[in-house]
């Protein structure tokens, strides 16, 4: 397999529905102190897609973040990248070849490349669902590695111990009418949307001027659920980043749901390409019976549809209705809106310095927020 790779300007990153692969996201991460790089690549279709011949090629690109591990070492991270998805039997060889080419572009202290793959899981055919239609999940790590490394030379791809971005999400089809979207929801979800309206919950769009409102709700939510609390500057960077003069900008809306002037919930809605994405959410412990999060989510869906988006990404749920999973509450809430569950392949690593990577892999197991 031959892949031509060359470095490019961040501003020229192609338009994409994947927020984390845009020039906008590079700007966000630069504001947060990370170094970013962008690359073009070209590969023959017959090398990556099965049952394809000829000489036609795919031209695409990807964004890389340099995640510092210590004063000397870093990890190259591709959030939901690369976007193009080769046929299953060619994926390992593609990632191997791309990784080996990338070696010369990465800093000397880079110990590996982490691909947070948004490609569909290999284990999503009918045999991997139970009689109730619930996904059985991926097989054990050793089997996953055997399958992805098949057809590679070095057998060097490793399933990481944790996924950074959600490996399961829900996509809503926004080509449906509002009436059709409401119809596909669970009855309880439709009821809660109408209940919030009857209670007088109001959802409005705002920006940086309401960052304090957001942050107060966010801290309350994080502490209620025992989550790590990011600083306000982390979210300020998402609202303040500008990539309007690039090929892949984004529109960011901060939505707030309130009742009688009291903020009850808030969320970040990001629109890129043809997709609206629910990126961050928070809610108060007060007046939860007013169902503000349902009203807010419905408003975000309508805004995305009006913007011209054809799909809506609910962004992150547990793989199934497992009540012990830390994201089960999100699964229960978000599946109520209908749509289709999508299981990603998740994070895969290509070690460049095997000894240093082994130490990093062991330390990551004990990292805060780790879950399978």
User: pLDDT tens digits for 150-187?
Assistant: 999 999 999 998 899 999 999 999 999 999 999 999 99
pLDDT digits (tens, 9 = 90+) for 105-142: 999 999 999 999 999 999 998 889 988 889 999 999 99
pTM of the model: 0.93
* Contact in structure between 58 and 45 (CB atoms under 8 Å): yes
Q: What tokens were used for 284?
A: 């108060």
366 falls in which pLDDT band (50, 70, 90)? low
Q: Which 8-state DSSP code applies to residue 131?
A: T
Which is nearest to 59 in space by CA: 119, 15, 3? 3
- Which contacts qualify for 217-224: CB closer than 8 Å, 24 or more apart? 217/263, 217/265, 217/266, 217/282, 217/283, 217/284, 218/266, 218/280, 218/282, 220/282, 220/283, 220/284, 220/285, 221/281, 221/282, 221/283, 222/282, 224/285
Mean of the pLDDT values across residues 228-235? 93
Mean of the pLDDT values across residues 47-58? 93
Residue 283 three-state SS? strand
Given the structure tokens 């994926």, which residue do they identify?
91
pLDDT at 370 over 60: no
365 falls in which pLDDT band (50, 70, 90)? confident
Contacts for 224 with CB less than 8 Å, ≥ 6 apart:
285
Q: By CB neighbour count within 10 A (0-12 exposed, 13-18 middle, 19+ buried), where does 108 fall?
A: exposed
Mean of the pLDDT values across residues 194-214? 96
* Average pLDDT over the chain, rounded to an integer: 95
pLDDT at 295 over 90: yes
Q: How far apart are CA 305 and CA 299, in angstroms?
A: 10
Percent of the chain with pLDDT over 90: 90
Q: What is the pLDDT of residue 183?
A: 97
CA angle, residues 192, 195, 198, in degrees to nearest 5: 160
Give just the sign of the alpha carbon dihedral 315, 318, 324, 329. Answer: positive
40 falls in which pLDDT band (50, 70, 90)? very high
Q: What is the pLDDT of residue 54?
A: 92
Q: What is the pLDDT of residue 226?
A: 85
pLDDT at 371 over 80: no
Q: What is the pLDDT of residue 367?
A: 60
- Exposure string of 48-64, with b = 16+ CB inside 10 Å and e = fewer, is bbeeeeeeeeeebbbbb
Residue 157 CA neighbour count, 13 Å, CB half: 29
* Paired strand residues for 211: none
Residue 323 three-state SS? coil
Given the structure tokens 């809306």, which residue do they identify?
253
368 falls in which pLDDT band (50, 70, 90)? very low
43 falls in which pLDDT band (50, 70, 90)? very high
Q: What is the pLDDT of residue 372?
A: 29
pLDDT at 235 over 70: yes
Q: What is the pLDDT of residue 14?
A: 97
Q: What is the pLDDT of residue 142?
A: 95
């Amino acid at each position: 397999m031959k892949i031509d790779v060359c470095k490019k300007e961040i501003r020229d990153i192609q338009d994409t529905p994947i927020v984390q692969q845009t020039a906008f996201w590079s700007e966000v991460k630069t504001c947060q102190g990370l170094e970013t790089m962008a690359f073009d690549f070209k590969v023959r279709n017959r090398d990556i897609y099965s049952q394809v011949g000829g000489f036609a090629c795919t031209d695409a690109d990807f964004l890389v973040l340099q995640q510092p591990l210590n004063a000397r070492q870093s990890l190259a991270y591709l959030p939901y990248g690369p976007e193009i998805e080769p046929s299953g039997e060619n994926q390992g060889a593609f990632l191997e070849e791309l990784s080996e080419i990338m070696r010369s572009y990465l800093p000397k202290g880079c110990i590996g490349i982490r691909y947070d793959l948004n490609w569909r899981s290999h284990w999503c055919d009918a045999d991997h669902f139970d009689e109730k239609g619930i996904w059985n999940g991926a097989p054990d790590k050793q089997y996953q590695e055997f399958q992805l490394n098949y057809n590679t030379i070095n057998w060097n791809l490793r399933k990481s111990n944790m996924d950074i971005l959600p490996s399961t999400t829900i996509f809503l089809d926004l080509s449906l009418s509002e009436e059709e979207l409401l119809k596909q929801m669970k009855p309880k979800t439709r009821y809660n949307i109408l209940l919030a309206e009857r209670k007088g919950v109001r959802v409005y769009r705002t920006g940086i001027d309401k960052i304090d409102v957001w942050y107060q709700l966010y801290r309350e939510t994080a502490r209620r659920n025992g989550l790590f609390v990011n600083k306000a500057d982390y979210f300020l960077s998402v609202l303040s980043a500008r990539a309007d003069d690039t090929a892949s900008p984004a529109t960011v809306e901060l939505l707030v749901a309130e009742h009688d002037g009291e903020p009850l919930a808030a969320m970040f809605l990001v629109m890129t390409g043809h997709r609206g994405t629910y990126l961050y959410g928070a809610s108060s412990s007060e007046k939860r019976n007013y169902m503000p999060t349902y009203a807010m989510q419905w408003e975000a869906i309508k805004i995305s549809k009006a913007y011209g988006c054809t799909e809506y990404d609910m962004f992150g749920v547990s793989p199934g209705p497992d009540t012990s999973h830390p994201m089960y509450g999100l699964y229960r809430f978000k599946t109520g809106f209908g749509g289709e569950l999508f299981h990603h392949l998740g994070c895969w690593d290509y070690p460049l310095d095997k000894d240093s990577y082994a130490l990093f892999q062991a330390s990551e197991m004990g990292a805060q927020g780790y879950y399978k």
